[in-house]
Amino acid sequence: MKRRKFIKKSLLGGAAITMPFVLPSGRLFASSGNRMADHVVFVAFAGGVRQQESVLQRYLDDSQAYASAGNIMYNILDGAPPTDKIVYGTTNYVNGDTPIPKMLSQTLQQQGTFFKEVNASVVGHYAGVNTLLTGNYMFTQGLRNKPLTPTIFEYLRRLTGEKATKTWFIGNGIGNSIPLLDYSTHSDYGAQYGANFLAPIVTFGNSGDKHLKNAKVYHPEEELDPMYKMKYFLDNVWYSQGSALPNIGNTEEEKLQIKQFVRDMFQKKDSGSIAFPPISDSGDLQTIGYACEVLKRFKPTLTVIYLSNVDGCHGNFSSYLRSLHRADHGVGHLWDFIQNQVPEMSGNTTMIVAPEHGRNDDPNGIKDANAFYGYDHSDSNSQRIFNMMVGPGIDSNLFIGNENNKVGDIVNIAPTIAEILGFKNDIVNTGLLASNQSFFDLI
Amino acid sequence: MLIFRKFIFLISFLLLFACNKQEPIYELNQINSSSYNANKNKLKSTMQYISILYANLFQTALSSNELVEITNCIESIGDKEVAHEIVLSNFMNSQQVLIPSDSLMRSDLNHFVEETYKRFYVRDITEAERKFFIDFFESNPSVSSEMVYMAFALSNEYQFY
CATH code where residue B66 lies: 1.10.3130
Is residue B139 included in any domain, yes or no?
Answer: yes
Q: For chain A, list the domains and their CATH numbers.
A: 32-212+251-442 (3.40.720.10)
Nearest 10 degrees: CA dihedral of A370, A374, A380, A383? 90
Q: Taking the CA of residue A100 as centre, how many other CA atoms within 13 Å lie in the half-sphere pointing to its CB?
A: 28
Q: Taking the CA of residue B112 as centre, how many other CA atoms within 13 Å lie in the half-sphere pointing to its CB?
A: 21
Q: Which helix (H) or strand (E) holds A353?
A: strand A349-354
**Residue A408: how many other CB atoms lie within 10 Å:** 27
List the alpha helices (DSSP H) in chain B: 2-18, 46-58, 64-75, 80-92, 102-107, 109-121, 127-139, 145-154
Full DSSP string of A368-422: -TT-PBP--S-SGGGGEEEEEEESTTSPSSEEE-BTTB---BGGGHHHHHHHHTT
DSSP-based three-state secondary structure for B151: helix
Q: Shortest CB distance from A198 goes to which of B77, B92, B154?
A: B77
**Overall size of chain A counted in residues:** 443
Predicted confidence at residue A2, as pLDDT, reads 47
The answer to whether residue A300 neighbours chain B at the CB level (below 8 Å) is no
Q: Which of A154, A227, A253 to mutate to test the interface with B (most CBs of B within 10 A)?
A: A227
**E-only strand ranges, A68-144:** 113-119
**Measured between alpha carbons, how far is residue A292 from residues A77, A179, A336, A340, A405 in Å?**
22, 19, 10, 11, 36
Q: Which helix (H) or strand (E) holds A305?
A: strand A302-307
Q: Residue A266's closest CA among B75, B70, B86, B150?
A: B86
Encode pLDDT of B113-156 as tens digits.
999 999 999 999 999 999 999 999 999 999 999 999 999 999 99
Predicted confidence at residue A12, as pLDDT, reads 47
Predicted confidence at residue B41, as pLDDT, reads 84
Domain with B98 in it: 46-159
Q: Which helix (H) or strand (E) holds A125?
A: helix A125-134
Q: Which helix (H) or strand (E) holds A302?
A: strand A302-307
The answer to whether residue A397 neighbours chain B at the CB level (below 8 Å) is no
Identify all chain A residues contacting B66, using CB atoms and an 8 Å cutoff: 210-211
Q: Residue A223's closest CA among B154, B122, B47?
A: B154
Q: Which of B42, B66, B147 to mutate to test the interface with A (most CBs of A within 10 A)?
A: B147
Percent of chain B with pLDDT over 70: 88
Predicted confidence at residue A14, as pLDDT, reads 46
DSSP-based three-state secondary structure for A103: coil
Report the complex ipTM.
Answer: 0.90
Identify all chain A residues contacting B69, using CB atoms and an 8 Å cutoff: 206-207, 210-211
Angle between helical axes of B80-92 and B145-154 (0-180°, round to 10) = 150
Predicted confidence at residue A32, as pLDDT, reads 65
Please check whether residue A160 is in contact with residue A30, taking contact to mean a CB–CB distance below 8 angstroms: yes
Residues 131-170 of A with CB under 8 A from B: 164, 169
Distance CA A405, CA A372 (A): 30
Q: Shortest CB distance from A259 goes to which of B69, B86, B143?
A: B86
Is residue B22 included in any domain, yes or no?
Answer: no
Q: Residue A331's closest CA among A359, A301, A310, A351?
A: A351
Burial class (CB in 10 A: 0-12, 13-18, 19+), A320: buried
Is residue B27 included in any domain, yes or no?
Answer: no
Radius of gyration of chain A (CA): 24
Q: Shortest CB distance from A250 goes to which of B82, B92, B93?
A: B82
Q: Residue A157's closest CA among A244, A245, A246, A249?
A: A249
Nearest C-alpha in B relative to A257: B82
Distance CA A40, CA A303 (A): 6
DSSP-based three-state secondary structure for A45: strand
Q: Residue A296's closest CA among A255, A253, A334, A350?
A: A334
> How far does B16 lie from chain A, in Å, by closest CA?
56
What residues have CB less than 8 Å from A372, skipping those under 6 apart? A60, A63, A64, A87, A317, A318
- In this structure, is the dihedral angle defined by the CA atoms of residues A139, A142, A148 and A151, taken in order, positive or negative? positive
Identify all chain A residues contacting B143, using CB atoms and an 8 Å cutoff: 226, 230
List the alpha helices (DSSP H) in A191-346: 200-203, 206-211, 225-239, 252-271, 283-298, 317-341
Residue A312 gets which letter from DSSP?
G
Is residue B115 included in any domain, yes or no?
Answer: yes
Is residue B32 included in any domain, yes or no?
Answer: no
Is residue B151 included in any domain, yes or no?
Answer: yes
Phi-psi region of A399 (alpha: psi -120 to 50; beta: other; left: phi over 0): beta
**Overall size of chain B counted in residues:** 161
> How far does A235 lie from chain B, in Å, by closest CA?
6
Identify all chain B residues contacting A231, using CB atoms and an 8 Å cutoff: 151, 154-155
- Which amino acid makes up residue A430? T
Q: Shortest CB distance from A234 goes to which of B78, B93, B155?
A: B155
What residues have CB less than 8 Å from B19, skipping those under 6 apart? none
Distance CA A410, CA A357 (A): 9
Q: How many domains does chain B have?
A: 1
Predicted confidence at residue A22, as pLDDT, reads 44
Q: Residue A199's closest CA among A175, A183, A216?
A: A175
The answer to whether residue A425 neighbours chain B at the CB level (below 8 Å) is no
pLDDT beneath 50: ranges in chain B: none
What residues have CB less than 8 Å from B69, skipping those under 6 apart? A206, A207, A210, A211
Predicted confidence at residue B1, as pLDDT, reads 63
Is residue B21 included in any domain, yes or no?
Answer: no
Q: Which of B34, B63, B68, B86 to mutate to test the interface with A (most CBs of A within 10 A)?
A: B86
Cβ burial A70-100 (10 Å sphere, 16+ → b, else e): bbbbbbbbebebbeebbbbbeeeeebbeebb
- Which amino acid makes up residue A105? S
Contact A197 B136 (CB under 8 A): no
Q: Residue A321's closest CA among A86, A107, A94, A80?
A: A86
List chain A pLDDT tens, one digit each, 443 residues: 444 554 455 544 444 444 444 444 444 445 668 999 999 999 999 999 999 999 999 999 999 999 999 999 999 999 999 999 999 999 999 999 999 999 999 999 999 999 999 999 999 999 999 999 999 998 777 788 999 999 999 999 999 999 999 999 999 999 989 999 999 999 999 999 999 999 999 999 999 999 999 998 889 889 999 999 999 999 999 887 777 778 999 999 999 999 999 999 999 999 999 999 999 999 999 999 999 999 999 999 999 999 999 999 999 999 999 999 999 999 999 999 999 999 999 999 999 999 999 999 999 999 999 999 999 999 999 999 999 999 999 999 999 999 999 999 999 999 999 999 999 999 999 999 999 999 999 99
Predicted confidence at residue B21, as pLDDT, reads 67
Predicted confidence at residue A9, as pLDDT, reads 52
Is residue B39 included in any domain, yes or no?
Answer: no
Distance CA B39, CA A329 (A): 54
